[in-house]
Amino acid sequence: MATKSVWSDNRFWQRTAAWVTGFASVLLIWLTFDTSAQISMGTDADLQNGVTKRVPGPTVINYKVTYEMNKKRQHEIPVIGGMNAEGTSAFQEKENFFGRDNWSEEEAGALLHLGKLASQTKNCMNCHTLLGNGAYYAPDLTKAWLDPAWGPEGSMQAMTGKETKEEAMAEFLQNPSQYPTHARMMPNLGITAEEAKGLVAFLKHLSSIDTNGFPRNFGKIQGAVNGK
C-alpha cells in the first residue's frame, strides 16, 4: 500500500500534460490540412460537373445564385444554378453578368482578382464585414449579392435606375454619395467603372461561398426565405 498519493506525484501530471500537449499538436496540424482542403477554391470543371465546393470557382459569376433554406442543415445555403431535388445546387441555370454568361475561367479569375485588389485598396473592411472580417459600421457584405434590395423589385436597384443587379451595384459603387442609403452614407471612394465591375464580381463570388449560414440573421431580412 502506497503512502504517497498519485495525485500529488509530479510524474503523473507531467505525463498527462505531455500526452495532452502532444495529442493536441497532432490534432491541430491535421486540422490545418483538413481546413486547407475545404477552403481551396473550386474550378470551372467542378461547376460543369456539378461538384459542390465550399468556395466555388470564379466562373460562378455565369450562374444564377440564390439563397435557399436547407431543411437538413437548418440554415440557408447558397444555391448555384438552380436547386435540385435534394435542395442543393443543380449548376444548370445560367445568368448574364454584365451582358454575358460565358466568362471564361481566366476572364472571371482576372475580374475577381481585380475586385479583390480594389476591395483591399479602397479598404472596404474599414466599415464593412467580409466573411466575418472587418467592421460593423456599414452593412455586412458577405451575402450582399443575395440581398433582395438589389434585386428586380429592390429599393437599391430602383434608386440607381439600372436594369440589372450587377449594373445597379456597379453604379452605386462608383457614385455612393449620390444615393441616400441610411444615416451613415458611403463616401465617394473614386472607384472606376472597371474596378466597380470587379468588385461586383468579387461580391457575387463571395455570396456563393458556403459559410454554414453565416451571417446568421441574413435570411431574416425582407423578401428572403423565412423573411419578414
Partner 1 sequence: MNAMFEPFVDVVPSFFATLSQGPMTLTIFLHTVIILPMFWIYKQEKARLEKEGN
Helix, strand, coil proportions of the chain in percent (round to 5)? Answer: 45, 10, 45
Dihedral of CA atoms 80, 82, 83, 88 in degrees, nearest 10, equals -10
Strand intervals (E) in 41-193: 65-70, 75-80, 129-130, 133-134
For residue 220, state whether it binds partner 1 (rule: CB under 8 A).
Answer: no
Task: Tell me whether residue 39 or residue 185 sits nearer to partner 1 (CB atom).
Answer: 39
For residue 28, state whether it binds partner 1 (rule: CB under 8 A).
Answer: no
C-beta of 188: minimal distance to partner 1 in Å? 39
Task: Tell me whether residue 34 or residue 163 sits nearer to partner 1 (CB atom).
Answer: 34
Q: How far apart are CA 159 and CA 150, in angstroms?
A: 10
Count of positions (residues) in the chain: 228
For residue 38, state whether it binds partner 1 (rule: CB under 8 A).
Answer: yes
C-beta of 88: minimal distance to partner 1 in Å? 9
What type of residue sits at position 117?
Answer: L
For residue 9, state whether it binds partner 1 (rule: CB under 8 A).
Answer: yes
Other Cβ atoms closer than 10 A to 147: 23
Q: By rule CB under 8 A, what count of residues binds partner 1?
A: 23
DSSP state of 186: P
Task: Tell me whether residue 52 or residue 181 sits nearer to partner 1 (CB atom).
Answer: 52
Task: Tell me whether residue 21 or residue 188 sits nearer to partner 1 (CB atom).
Answer: 21
Q: What cell does 83 get?
A: 436547386
Task: Tell me whether residue 85 or residue 183 sits nearer to partner 1 (CB atom).
Answer: 85
Quick note: the x/- pattern for partner 1 over 41-70, rule CB under 8 A, is: -----------x-x----------------
Task: Tell me whether residue 4 or residue 228 sits nearer to partner 1 (CB atom).
Answer: 4
Contacts of 171 (CB under 8 A, 6+ apart): 160, 161, 162, 196
> Where on the chain is the footprint of partner 1 (CB under 8 A)?
1-4, 6, 9, 11-12, 15-16, 19-20, 23, 30-31, 34, 38, 52, 54, 72-74, 210
